[in-house]
Amino acid sequence: MSENFVPDDLFMDRLEWQLASEYRRKQLLGPVRPKIVLPRRAALTLLVAGLFMSGVTAIKAAEYFKDSWRKKIEIARVETEVRLMEARRESARQSAARAARMYALGLMETGEDRVADFSVKKAGLAVDKSLLNRDEVRASGASPRDEIYAPKVGGRDFVGERLVIVKKEAELEMAAREIRRDRKRDKFALGLVSADEMKALEAEAAVQKAAILRLEKRLDLRKRFLAGGLTAQAAEIEDRLTGAEEDLGAATAKVEVLRERMKRQETLEAVGMASPGETQALNTALDSALDEQKLAVLEIDVLKKSK
Amino acid sequence: MTEQQWLATYRETVRDLYGYLARRTGGNRELSEDIVQESYLRALQSWKDKGLPDSPAAWLKRVARNILIDYLRRSKWIDPSGLRPEAGAADPPADDPLKPLKILSAISSLGQKRAAILEAFYYDGKSVREIALEMRISERAVEGQLRRARRSLKSRLPDPPSNGGKNE
């Protein structure tokens, strides 16, 4: 009998792994048991369910893309994405050339020519990423995967390669924003920019740094997973933990900025220079940032317990 | 259904299910693997709520066959009715990789009973006696159905190149 009539061992192993994972996810997504009545416990259960929802969605998506006609559609989609990104890169090049001419004529602020160059580089990275996605879809027949525990495809580490590109994109974005922040700092020194605005910009810089740090950690996790130093489950938990810590950092920075603004707002309102409506709006934003902070703390707590 | 039962059922049935599909797709590995995968995912969804069926293997084969037939109907390169290709269409080459799927497509258009008998006899290698026992009909009835099914199938398939592309 031809070997095509007998299932491949690798296929059977991978399917068994997928079916076991799917079974466990379905168990986790099952109905909440009646004995869980405390709000905190209910919140924890919902959070765990939410954490695993995205994984289930990813598996379902991959499952449907495997059929050959869907594979063709997916390849057509990524090829369109490549063409779109190439067109954007061309447009960014033209904008950069225009910016360089205007800068030479003294019609643009300091550093804007470099910002335009960064845009061209970012557009180039977007092309690289779309080409990578296309190669992955062609090799796997499935939509590109971003999970740290995703296997290599045809011996190629698409997840790692994509992370490197995303990190470069984040670094370029940070460098471009830093040029503008530097200009603001100079203006702040001259008293042309408010302290509030400056604080918000510094918070933004902190968030960008944290995002890059997270990408470095993800790359490290990926290397450890491929080297066999981490199980798929441990890699997933560590990855989510890093993400939750980043969320906590961003939410904390936001809370600090909003609290400062709130203090000033209350003073202005007391002397009749601000309306109660404006204060209320700021208060709502602060409450929302505090909720984000609490959720991130809760998520970290759950993930640490899951280890 | 516990995880152990689920995985044990998978291990017991996967080879048989794959073979069942591979025979119908002419050994098309990619298509067979896709349908095996989708069948088990559907099984998990159904069995999780309803429990294991009496015969998981039969359940899986039925679902897998439905997925395959659905695939054939939705694929534009196969006439969904399983009828002859349009007049003037070129004869497929002798080693046409789609031929097994075209044959299955034609079989599936014969009606449930005839298709089941033909598939059991030709794809699964079952004897007339075994089919008769399974379907609870006489062996004579199976033979009659097989004869009529073969005749219907012949009229629905393009003539083989060795026959000069003409009807008998």
Would the pLDDT of A73 be above 90? no
Would the pLDDT of A62 be above 60? no
Average pLDDT over residues B78-87: 42
pTM of the model: 0.49
Chain B contacts of A5, Cβ < 8 Å? Answer: 19, 22-23, 27
Same domain, B63 and B114: no
Chain B closest-CA separation from residue A17 CA (Å): 10
From A258, A259, A147, A163, select the one nearest A211 (Cα to Cα): A163
Same domain, B13 and B59: yes
**Band of the pLDDT at A63, cuts 50, 70, 90?**
low
Average pLDDT over residues A175-179: 91
In a domain, residue B132? The reply is yes
In a domain, residue B165? The reply is no
Cβ distance B6 to A63 less than 8 Å, yes or no, reads no
CA–CA gap between residue A130 and residue A161 (Å, rounded): 12
CA–CA gap between residue B7 and residue A21 (Å, rounded): 11
Min mean pLDDT across A123-127, A258-262, B44-48, B81-85 is at B81-85
**Band of the pLDDT at A52, cuts 50, 70, 90?**
low
B56-75 per-position pLDDT tens digit: 999 999 999 988 888 877 76
Would the pLDDT of A37 be above 50? no
CATH number of the CATH domain containing B119: 1.10.10.10
Could you give the percent of chain A with pLDDT greater than 90? 32
Same domain, B8 and B69: yes
In a domain, residue B82? The reply is no
**Band of the pLDDT at A60, cuts 50, 70, 90?**
low
Which helix (H) or strand (E) element contains residue A135?
helix A112-140
Nearest to B44 among A2, A22, A141 (CB): A22
In a domain, residue B58? The reply is yes
Cβ density class B85-121: b for 16+ within 10 Å, e for less: eeeeeeeeeeeeeebbbbbbbbbbbbeeebbbbbbbb
Cβ distance A23 to B3 less than 8 Å, yes or no, reads yes
Per the DSSP assignment, residues forming a β-bridge with A153 are A156
The pLDDT of residue B84: 40
Domain termination residue (choose one: B74, B100, B130): B74
Cβ distance B29 to A6 less than 8 Å, yes or no, reads no
Same domain, B67 and B13: yes
Give the residue numbers spanning the domain of B18.
3-74
Cβ distance B6 to A19 less than 8 Å, yes or no, reads yes
More confident residue, B155 or A40: B155
More confident residue, A106 or A57: A106
The pLDDT of residue B11: 92
Cβ distance A69 to B38 less than 8 Å, yes or no, reads no
The pLDDT of residue A67: 55
Average pLDDT over residues A262-274: 85
Same domain, B118 and B65: no
The pLDDT of residue B86: 39
Would the pLDDT of A290 be above 90? yes
Cβ distance B34 to A22 less than 8 Å, yes or no, reads no
Q: What is the ipTM of this complex?
A: 0.73
**Band of the pLDDT at A65, cuts 50, 70, 90?**
very low
Domain termination residue (choose one: B46, B74, B102): B74
Q: How many CB atoms lie within 10 A of CB A74?
A: 23
Same domain, B7 and B69: yes
The pLDDT of residue B18: 94
Cβ distance A5 to B37 less than 8 Å, yes or no, reads no
The burial class, CB within 10 Å (0-12 / 13-18 / 19+), for B140 is: exposed
Sign of CA dihedral A43, A49, A52, A53: negative
**Band of the pLDDT at B168, cuts 50, 70, 90?**
very low
Nearest to A5 among B22, B31, B33 (CB): B22
CA–CA gap between residue B32 and residue B21 (Å, rounded): 6
**Band of the pLDDT at B85, cuts 50, 70, 90?**
very low
Nearest to B44 among A7, A26, A67 (CB): A26
In a domain, residue B155? The reply is yes
Domain termination residue (choose one: B55, B74, B93): B74
Fill in the amino acid letter for B96. D
**Band of the pLDDT at A287, cuts 50, 70, 90?**
very high
Cβ distance A18 to B37 less than 8 Å, yes or no, reads yes
Average pLDDT over residues A19-29: 76
Nearest to B41 among A24, A63, A69 (CB): A63
**Band of the pLDDT at A48, cuts 50, 70, 90?**
low
Out of A91-105, A169-183, A260-274, B137-151, give the one with best mean pLDDT.
A169-183
Cβ-Cβ pairs closer than 8 A, A with B, add up to 71
In a domain, residue B69? The reply is yes
Cβ distance B36 to A15 less than 8 Å, yes or no, reads yes
CA–CA gap between residue A244 and residue A303 (Å, rounded): 9
CA–CA gap between residue B8 and residue B56 (Å, rounded): 11
In a domain, residue B144? The reply is yes
In a domain, residue B94? The reply is no
The pLDDT of residue A128: 96
Nearest to A63 among B23, B27, B38 (CB): B38
Domain count of the fold of chain B = 2
B112-161 per-position pLDDT tens digit: 888 888 888 888 888 889 899 888 888 888 888 888 888 888 877 766 55
**Band of the pLDDT at B88, cuts 50, 70, 90?**
very low
CA–CA gap between residue A185 and residue B133 (Å, rounded): 88
From A39, A142, A3, select the one nearest B37 (Cα to Cα): A142
Q: Under an 8 Å CB criterion, which residues of A touch B?
A: 2, 4-8, 11-12, 15-16, 18-20, 22-24, 26-27, 63, 66-69, 141
Same domain, B122 and B67: no
